[in-house]
Structure 1
C-alpha cells in the first residue's frame, strides 16, 4: 500500500472530531456480533449505531444480548418490519450525533481495520467525504464477473451524468461529515441508497475523495442480498436525480 495511506489509529484518535459508525443489519445472525467486535477493536468510534431492519433469523436476540452487556458507545434501533438498507441508514443518520459518519455493512466484506485509511483525508481537512474503492489496487477476493460489470457500468453512468471520475460508486464504505446531509432528504429505501446519496453529494459540488480498500466479497449462498434487478433501479436513480432536485 502507498505510504500515504499507512496511518496509525492513535494519530487519528488525537483529533477533536467524533465518529459515528452506522451498521444496517438484516438477517445477519451469523455475523453481527463479530462485526461489532471488530468495529470496537479499532477503538475509533464514539458511537456505534446498529439499525436492525426487521430481522427474522435471530439477529434481534443477539442484539438484545449485546444491549444487556452495556457495551460503551453501542446503540441499537429496531425496525419492526423490513424496510430496506436505505431506510435503515436514514434511521441511523438521524440518530447520530458525531461529526463524521461511516457506513459499515453487517458482514465481513469490508474490514474495519481500514477506518484510519478512510478517515485520514477528512481528519486532515482535505475533503468532507471519502469513498473506499475496491478498484484502486487493494487486495480483494475475485468478484463475480457480472457483478463487476454492473458496478463498472453504474460507476461509468455516475461519472458521465455528474462529471466525476469515481472508480467505485457502489462501495459500502462511504464516510462523510454529518453536515453534508443535514439538509438532504434521502428517499431511497433499498439498495438505491448508493446512487441517490452519491448523486446528491455530487450535485452539491462536492468532489468525492477515494482511497483503496480491501474487499472480501461473499456469494449469494453466503447471504449476499443485492440482486441483478437492483442494477436498473440504480441506473434510473442516477438519471432521475441528475435532472430532479
Structure 2
C-alpha cells in the first residue's frame, strides 16, 4: 500500500495520465513462482504487441488513472480480464502508460493467489478482443 504514492505522483505532477506500478522495474521484486513470472511475462508481451505499449507488468494491481481518462472508459470485465481490457482501451485512446517500480510480496495459493488456467485463457481472449472492440 505504501507504493500507491509513487504510482499517483506522476499524475499529480501532470507528467502522465495513466501509471502502472511494475513489480519488475529495477528488480522491485521476484514473484514466488517461475510459472507465474513466465505467465505474467507472456501475457504482458502479448498485450504490448496488440496495444503498442512497452509495459513490463500489465497484470500489476497498482494502477492509477487521471479522472479524465476514467470518464472515457466503460469497463466490462471482472477478475483478471480487467487488466488487459483497461490496458487495451487506454491504448486505443492514444494514451501512453507510464510505469514506476513498486514492491511486491507474492501470495501463496492458501493466502489467496487463485489464478488458474481458465483465467489465463480469458486474459488472452481479452487482450485480442479489446484490441479490436
SS for the counterpart of 1:175 is strand
Q: Which residue of 2 aligns with 1:159?
A: 48
Deviations 1:5-39 (A, max 9, x none): xxxxxxxxxxxxxxxxxxxxxxxxxxxxxxxxxxx
SS for the counterpart of 2:84 is helix
Q: Which residue of 1 aligns with 2:19?
A: 130
Structure number with larger C-alpha Rg: 1
Structure 1 Cα separation of the partners of residues 28 and 62 of structure 2: 15
Native 8 Å contact 2:31 2:37 kept in 1: no
Establish whether residue 195 from structure 1 lines up as the match of residue 89 from structure 2.
Answer: no
Structure 1 Cα separation of the partners of residues 131 and 4 of structure 2: 31
Higher relative contact order (CA 8 A, sep 6+): 2
Structure 2 Cα separation of the partners of residues 211 and 183 of structure 1: 23
- Name stretches of at least 5 consecutive residues in structure 1 with no aligned partner: 1-111
Q: Which residue of 2 aligns with 1:210?
A: 99
Structure 2 Cα separation of the partners of residues 183 and 164 of structure 1: 19
Alignment of 1:27-66 (within 5 A): none
Establish whether residue 115 from structure 1 lines up as the match of residue 7 from structure 2.
Answer: no
Q: Which residue of 2 aligns with 1:94?
A: none
1:175 is matched with which residue: 64, 67, 75? Answer: 64
Deviations 1:91-126 (A, max 9, x none): xxxxxxxxxxxxxxxxxxxxx111221122111111
Establish whether residue 184 from structure 1 lines up as the match of residue 101 from structure 2.
Answer: no
Native 8 Å contact 2:4 2:62 kept in 1: no
Moved over 3 A (4+): none
Cα distance, 1:138–1:117 mapped onto 2, change above 3 Å: farther
Structure 2 Cα separation of the partners of residues 139 and 155 of structure 1: 17
Structure 2 Cα separation of the partners of residues 242 and 180 of structure 1: 17
* Greater share of helix: 2
Native 8 Å contact 1:138 1:213 kept in 2: no
Q: Which residue of 2 aligns with 1:237?
A: 126
| Equivalent residues, number | 133
Native 8 Å contact 1:139 1:213 kept in 2: yes
- Name stretches of at least 5 consecutive residues in structure 2 with no aligned partner: none
SS for the counterpart of 2:2 is helix
